[in-house]
Structure 1
Amino acid sequence: MAKFPKNFLWGGATSANQIEGTFLEQGKGWSTADIDKFIPKEQRKSGPADNLVKRADVEFAMHDKKGIYPKRNGIDFYHHYKEDIALLAEAGFKMFRISISWPRIFPNGDDKEPNEEGLRFYDKVFDECRKKKIEPLVTLSHFEMPLNLVLKQNGWLSRKTVDDFVHYADVVFNRYKNKVRYWITFNEINVLEMSGFTSGGILADNIANRKEARYQAAHHQFVASALAVKKCHEIIPNASIGAMIARFESYPKTCNPKDALANVRANQNNLFFSDVQIRGYYPSYIKRFFKDNDIHLKINDGDKKILREGTADFLAFSYYSSMVAISPDATEGEKLTSGNLKLSFQNPYLRSNDWGWQFDPIGLRIALNELYDRYQVPLFVVENGLGAKDKLSKDNRIHDDYRIDYLKQHIEQIGEAYQDGVEIMGYLIWGCIDLVSASSCEMSKRYGIVYVDLDDYGKGTLKRKKKDSYYWYKKVVESNGLIL
């Protein structure tokens, strides 16, 4: 069994919009996540996760009295944070990843003064973490932004949003400089390439070139991230602030050179975002992509210097499954399967969960080796987990051996990667407490080692319950990965 370093950060991860609740209360403003509607599985359209939505869609959701919008209520972490943090502490967590809701601090996004009640809430959360000897890892932007900035200036398509974000970052860095040492700027920043509204707050109205719009928004996020990194280092000298991507480890379907080339392109598409944030400049290969897709970015004088001076300290990433790349002229008849916000061709060597995501623990080891070879900075697995339909058994317990098996296999591969020489900061289970699904707004797609009594329609007692995986993970943490 591979040994983990003594300072390895074991824990779990969540996001504000999937757990907090307290919709439009305590001074919080509208968030882009607040318009995410639950649609039963049988009514959903097949295909990749959303991309751009229209202004009319946003306005409809804001006035809709009949629809179900689960992220507005989450799992009511706002009122259960002490209980939830106590459960994590009992399991031995070293770290708890959460995000700050930008519209809870600045309800409109461009307010001059922050909402003091929102700031106090996170004071209490971080104080509780410290009290329980849990290190907070805080994401500044996790798939939500003030909806006002979407309606007013088309989200991250506007250069002004950079200034709004940096002001927000400045406020929270100063407020929590004695409570938070670990930060991430943008959650899965590369999701912008496929989901313009979720990640960038871009409205489809009057957008002629959607790809160009997404990459322009990405450029603004790159600049905002670099400025935030620099500001964080100035305000909190002992802080460590990272970039984050969703890692889609990719394999060529065959040894056909065309499939191998398709795989190179797939990886470049995935790693472009971390290339900019870790290396501090636009890679040469992106020029061909921009030319082929008629993409022309507006880059201000001084932006290159900002990117160069604001590189991230570490690379965090999510990992759930891998993908298969096939030459565009050979895709006919190939079966598609689902994944984390992205479709892929099916890999016949892998198993799938109830949502079609294919398990690939060895792919995590490959990803860790490849990313470390590429960047030579510390890596952090900040999301990994299994979404499943957990059920209470006759003995009133949740026997989730399937989750234990999934987590065990992935942790084993992290240990192997560490022995390979990869510098790994830690491992965080995604959705350590059951939460609202980011993509489908379901509660029935459960990731947690702690069960929450709540269904897809918002009904339930909200009582928390330890699953079998909770007791298993506690032993893993206590033994620093020796007992799996």
Structure 2
Amino acid sequence: MNIKTNFPDGFLWGGATAANQLEGAFLEDGKGWSTADTALYTKERRSLASITKRMESKDIDFAMEDKEGIYPKRTGIDHYHHYKEDIALFAEMGFKVYRFSISWPRIFPNGDGEVNEAGLAFYEKLIDECLKYGIEPLVTISHYEFPLALAKKQNGWESRKTIDAFVTYAKTLFTRYRGKVKYWLTFNEINIIGMTGYLSGGILADNVDNFMQAQYQAAHHQFVASALCVNLCHEMLPEAKIGCMLARMESYPETCKPEDVMESIYSDHNNLFYSDVQIRGYYPTYMNKFFKDNNINIVKEDEDDAILLNGTVDFMSFSYYMSGVSSANNDGEKTEGNILGTKKNPYLEASDWGWQIDPVGLRVTLHKLYDRYQIPLFIVENGLGAHDVVESNGEIHDEYRINYLRLHIEQMSIAIEEGVDLMGYTPWGCIDLVSASTSEMSKRYGFIYVDMDDEGNGTNIRSRKDSFYWYKKVIDTNGSDLTS
């Protein structure tokens, strides 16, 4: 059944992935080590500790020498050798855009220095394959695959030297893919550096005295690097658009108690600090007290404030999986979520992994962000991680995923009707891939099933789920037919 669509002509329907979670080809064709390559899988480890752990030099030395452990992000789903098949499936669904990331150490194995031509050639082939089907590439320049060599050499983004290395890397991409890529993102979920340090920042805990100071100093260096790359993109690729990307943590006050409302405001400050800097071009004053209370002193160069002000992004992209609850009282049942745990909301259902499902929360977030920034928004991650069952006839009936996505798309449509400028939607893990947080395959998001288990066993054969055909219909009708 078709209904009137609120999605504009040219709306960018598609899907999203990340190099470290699907490519594989570990150290192949000159690729260097990344922080993702040290992510060990164990059956007992399904908690967020696997992604928030403060890594030390001894931990990465162990991972680099370990011959017994399972490191799923080193193999992914072997997209490196299956990209043509995978993109053909995306094209069959009718993708208008495909969001993927480029692995920094596949281009610069040591993070700086010598460029790896084989890496540049691989992504050029991938981009050309997208363009062959009329799919616009949306390229994330840095997505949790920080070069391990720079972590060991200069403690990652804590060092200002990393700015120059990143700008050189981005300039190399802009030069090579000029005229082929219209949409760019600088850092995936830039706020995650404030929660992990190591994953996206390469910060080793044994090399710092005040870890939180190091995290926020690293964030500052990423802000400067992002602003420099925005200006570079505008100069080199005037037809292109470049945005920021935030892990959005929508949080409701637990009650109408004023203290709970203030906690929800503080939650927004903690979350939106990063996009405030990248979109407004300056540090918000609400962070002054936080920095003072936590003994954080951001070291800036004289030109940094001008760089930030002149390097604001063209659009804001973000991930949204769930909402949380803010309370002045920390007692009560907790639930896990995208990097960050929260108090349980009794009005919401939860996924197999305890992530609370809140479609209306997406509309709340769309309004909050658009009211705050007044620039186009792009939902570049949203989806349901679930256990999928392959029937005896090979079919995968994932009505639960269809329901999740339908409810979120409905709220997107209402938000657009209510005045929000939304440019596109790329559900996360459009093909099954390795989980960022737990390094497992059993937490599946895709429209396409990949026959591989948590320990890397399987045929690696791709199969269409029921959601594949449903999403194809959604795209074909520009969001007017959401029925199963």
Q: TM-score, length-normalised on structure 1? A: 0.98
Does residue 366 of structure 1 match 2:364?
yes
Deviations 1:119-141 (A, max 9, x none): 00011000000001000000000
Secondary structure in 2 aligned to 1:12? Answer: strand
Q: Aligned to 2:448, which of 446, 450, 453?
A: 450
Which of 62, 66, 76 is residue 74 of structure 1 equivalent to? Answer: 76
After TM superposition, list the pairs within 5 Å mapping 1:66-465 onto structure 2.
66-111=68-113, 113-327=114-328, 330-332=329-331, 334-465=332-463
Percent identical: 61
Kindly indicate whether residue 54 of structure 2 is the aligned counterpart of residue 52 of structure 1.
Answer: yes
SS of residue paired to 2:171: helix
CA distance in 2, matches of 1:48, 1:423: 36
Superposed displacement of residue 12, structure 1 = 0.1
Matched AA of 1:340: N
Aligned residue for 1:429, secondary structure, equals coil
TM-aligned CA deviation for residue 394 of structure 1: 2.5
Q: Quick one: distance in 2 between partners of 1:459 and 1:45?
A: 22
Q: SS at the partner of 1:200?
A: coil
Residue 9 in structure 1 maps to residue 12 in structure 2: yes
**What is the letter of the counterpart of residue 42 of structure 2?**
I
> 2: distance between equivalents of 1:39 and 1:151?
25
Letter in 1 for 2:212: K
1:49–1:342: 8 Å Cα contact kept in structure 2?
A: no
Deviation at 1:50, TM superposition (A): 1.4
Q: Which has the larger displacement, 380-389 or 47-56?
A: 47-56
Q: Which of 35, 38, 48 in structure 2 is aligned with 1:35? A: 38
Aligned residues of 2:322 and 2:361 also touching (Cα < 8 A)? yes
CA drift at 1:43: 4.5
Verify the 8 A CA contact 1:71 1:441 in the aligned structure 2: yes
Aligned-partner SS, 1:278:
helix
Secondary structure at the aligned position of 1:185 is classed as strand
Measured in 2, the distance between the counterparts of 1:62 and 1:418 equals: 48
For 1:270 and 1:155, how far apart are their aligned partners in 2? 22
Taking only aligned residues, the RMSD between alpha carbons, in angstroms, comes to 1.0
* 2:29 paired residue among 12, 22, 26: 26
Q: Which amino acid aligns with 2:436?
A: A
TM-score after normalising by structure 2: 0.98
Cα gap change, 1:207 to 1:414, in 2 (>3 Å): same
Contact 2:387 2:442 in 1 (8 A): yes
8 A contact 1:3–1:415 mirrored in 2: yes
Q: Distance in 2 between matches of 1:43 and 1:362?
A: 31
Deviation, 1:47, is 5.4
Per-residue deviation, residues 98-118 of structure 1 (Å, max 9, x unmatched)? 00000000000111x311111
Q: Offset at 1:44?
A: 5.0
Where do 5+ consecutive residues of structure 1 fail to align?
none
Shift of 1:395: 2.4
* Partner Cα distance (1:45, 1:238) in 2: 43
The aligned amino acid for 1:95 is V
List runs of 5+ in structure 2 lacking aligned partners: none
- State the Cα distance separating 1:45 from its structure 2 match: 5.6
The answer to whether the Cα contact below 8 Å between 1:48 and 1:341 also exists between their aligned partners in 2 is: no
The letter for the 2-side match of 1:399 is: H
**Shift, 1:178, TM fit:** 1.6
Distance of 2:48 and 2:19 partners within structure 1: 27
- Partner deviation per Cα, 1:403-450 (whole Å, 9 max, x = no partner): 000000000000011001000011111000000000100000000000
Aligned amino acid, residue 424 of structure 1:
L
Distance, in Å, in 2 between the alignment partners of 1:454 and 1:206 is 37
Q: How far 1:207 sits from its partner (Å)?
A: 2.1
The one-letter code of the counterpart of 1:204 is A
CA distance in 2, matches of 1:315, 1:46: 26
Residues 185-241 of structure 1: CA deviation (Å, up to 9, x unaligned): 000001111111112110000422221111000000000000011101111110000
CA distance in 1, matches of 2:265, 2:163: 32
